[in-house]
Amino acid sequence: MEKDVEEKLIQVCRSQINMLELVFESFRTLTDKAIREAEKTKEEVRKATAELEKFLVQKGSSSEKGKEWAKPYLSMASSFNRIEYNMDGMIDRLKTMLKEHILFSDRAVKEVNDIFQAAMDLLESLPDLIQTRNKLLAQHIGEQVRSILKIANGYSEEHEERLIQGVCMPKSSPLYLGLLLSLKGIIAHILEVSGKIVSISQKS
């Protein structure tokens, strides 16, 4: 992987790590200020991804590598776009929680926190993977993703069962499940990026 491409990819990662940290903080504090801070980072994330896409298209068009070279990188950029889309969805749900004064149970808060932290850890591992293309690190990411998704799916199923039993509040249920769904989306797209990095390194 060329150094200039590597730097652009890491720039996108850093902007997304920053946004996810602020979304996580917004969930923990649930204040208007925290949510606005998280929302401000959307433009930075979108700008970084758009610059990456433009750079890849220009580099592919102007070099001997051609458009085929750019395809896996553009696919990676698409995965980053979907990560941002899921974070954006979480901000909307947090706004609803704040506006309608909806609170989660201690159990639900802990469960969302668990998956949030796991998503943060995985996203923070991507810059290292981009720099090193370490297959063992990629393998570890894959194992972690499968484990976390299994846990998150278990949380969702248990929550739905509690809802049926009348233990959970129907008003908060869609927001809880929506946050988990967005986090699972982020984690799945991190795995996609990881797989593409490994695939690219094997071809080079």
- Domain of residue 105, CATH code: 1.20.58.220
d(CA 80, CA 74): 10
Domain count, the chain: 1
Structural domain for 40, as ranges: 3-203
> For the segment 128-153, what is each residue's pLDDT rounded down to a tens digit?
999 998 999 999 999 999 999 999 99
The model carries a pTM of 0.92
> For the segment 153-179, what is each residue's pLDDT rounded down to a tens digit?
999 998 888 777 776 677 888 999 999
d(CA 93, CA 82): 17
d(CA 60, CA 69): 6
> For the segment 63-95, what is each residue's pLDDT rounded down to a tens digit?
666 678 888 899 999 999 999 999 999 999 999
